[in-house]
Amino acid sequence: MFKDFSEIQVGDSESISKKITESDVRRFVEMTGDDNPLHVDAAYAESTAFKDIVVHGMLGASYISTVIGTRLPGTGALWVSQNFDFLLPVRLGDELSISCTVLKKFERERLLELETKIVNQHQQTVLTGTGKVKVLSPSLPKEITEEKSDLRVAVVTGGSGGIGKAISLRLAKDGFAVVIAYRGRVDRANSVVKEIHSNKGKAIAVCADISTKEGVELLHKAAAKEFGGVSVLVNNASSAINPKPFELMDWEDIQNQLNTQLKGSFLLCQSCIPKMIDRGWGRIVNITSQVVEGEPTPSWTSYAIAKASLAKFSSYLAADLGSNGITVNCVSPGMSETGLIGSISEKVQLMIARQTPTRRLTKPEDVAAAVAYLVSSEASQVTGQTILVNGGIVTS
């Protein structure tokens, strides 16, 4: 166990007692090679002003390391600097009290400045000093595996049609209770819920406008009431592409896309992340698009801006949340067999399929498989990444 740095307070003090013996001196000589006769030869020491053996100063000081490593701060401590003043000699048979006291804390660096002191049995101070100690943190903080997580609840926005439906069905098959967020077609949402129930899965459908705080609060409360919370968030909701040449565009076209793609994802993350942090486990997957990585598609400007913003938001969020056991990744589909490509002619769809190395368009189930991997325990070390699911027509 590593010491909780926040629990250490200025003024905290710990000490140990040690009686110095001849065997201690012998072991110190064997370890260091310091066989100065002042420390080991009584006849020589008697001929000096000290008149008796003087114990190595660093032998006494070494017990400060014992206090640091076992008492204050204890396990996970790294002694990084020290200044000593040796005030009196230590003799064989002396009983020493070795203590460390916290003088200052440096939160960002996780450093402690300590006062160090050694006092003998006559209450004489034989050594004083100050030092700095770094309090290490675990290399994998708050890691909780999927098997240890008792909350397997996924919110899928836009979860009733196309890619969202495939993701909802796949996560339900993998044992997640699924909260299907939709805004329009209640019949489609209810149909997905019915299909999940028929396969012995758990699901509810919630109508919510995720571009508003009220809609997000409604969605999150429904998930908490029905299933106890949210451990997986899949931001898949998307407005229709609505292609327009620039001269016909209004800012409202871009804003509408940003409201759904970016603002909705932002608000949902704000709502779900605090409890994920408390549990030390969470998965966020944002569905972006090939338009971010591929060649620009004329007239798709507003859609591409929103998807690119979502992708960049994801990478920064991953950097912020990684130490909390939360991963954030993107899945970037190529042209997929969904209603979003309804405005693209069949001829163009066939041409793109022929140009794709796999010779077909992406299926919603292909995207769902990538999401299923990213929310699993096997992907605990994958964060800040984008999985391209496009048949190889665009490569990273």
State residue 118's pLDDT score.
97
243 touches 343 (CB < 8 A)? yes
Judge whether residue 341 has pLDDT over 70: no
pLDDT band at 343 (very low <50, low <70, confident <90, very high): low
The mean-pLDDT minimum among 108-122, 148-162, 239-253, 295-309 falls in 148-162
Gap between the Cα atoms of 146 and 325, Å rounded? 11
Judge whether residue 220 has pLDDT over 50: yes
State residue 387's pLDDT score.
95
Joined tokens for residue 353? 């399929």
State residue 295's pLDDT score.
83
- Assess whether 316 carries a catalytic annotation: no
- Condensed to tens digits (0 to 9), the pLDDT of residues 162-181 reads 999 999 999 999 999 999 99
Burial of residue 140 (CB within 10 Å: 0-12, 13-18, 19+) is exposed
- Condensed to tens digits (0 to 9), the pLDDT of residues 81-91 reads 999 999 999 99
- Condensed to tens digits (0 to 9), the pLDDT of residues 191-206 reads 999 999 999 999 999 9
State residue 146's pLDDT score.
44
Joined tokens for residue 52? 């008796």
In the chain, the amino acid numbered 175 is: G
Judge whether residue 145 has pLDDT over 70: no
State residue 142's pLDDT score.
45
Q: What percent of the chain has pLDDT over 90?
A: 76
Pick the CATH number of 5-135 from 3.90.1150.10, 3.10.129.10, 3.40.50.280, 3.20.20.80: 3.10.129.10
For residues 23-41, one letter each, b for 16 or more C-beta atoms within 10 angstroms of the residue's C-beta and e for the rest, the string is ebbeebbeeeeeeeebbbe
- Condensed to tens digits (0 to 9), the pLDDT of residues 376-389 reads 999 999 999 999 99
Judge whether residue 221 has pLDDT over 80: yes
Q: Write phi, then psi, for 294 (nearest 5 degrees).
A: -90, -175
Strands 232-235 and 153-157: parallel
State residue 340's pLDDT score.
58
Q: Which residue has the higher pLDDT, 394 or 109?
A: 109
Judge whether residue 144 has pLDDT over 50: no
- Interval 303-328 mean pLDDT: 95
Judge whether residue 15 has pLDDT over 80: yes
Joined tokens for residue 341? 């490509």
Mean pLDDT across the chain? 91
99 touches 13 (CB < 8 A)? yes
Judge whether residue 278 has pLDDT over 80: yes
- Interval 9-37 mean pLDDT: 96
- Condensed to tens digits (0 to 9), the pLDDT of residues 33-71 reads 999 999 999 999 999 999 999 999 999 999 999 999 999
Judge whether residue 342 has pLDDT over 60: no
Q: Sign of the CA dihedral 212, 218, 223, 224?
A: positive
| Residue 312 CB contacts under 8 Å (≥ 6 apart), including other chains | none
In the chain, the amino acid numbered 62 is: S
Q: State the CATH class of domain 146-389.
A: alpha beta
Gap between the Cα atoms of 294 and 393, Å rounded? 9
Gap between the Cα atoms of 40 and 55, Å rounded? 8
pLDDT band at 344 (very low <50, low <70, confident <90, very high): low
Domain ranges for the chain, please list them.
5-135, 146-389
Q: What percent of the chain has pLDDT over 70?
A: 92
User: Starting at the edge strand that comes first in sequence, how are the strands of the sheet with 232-235 ordered?
Assistant: 203-207, 177-182, 153-157, 232-235, 282-287, 326-333, 386-389
Of 44, 63, 182, 303, the active-site residue reads: 303
State residue 337's pLDDT score.
59
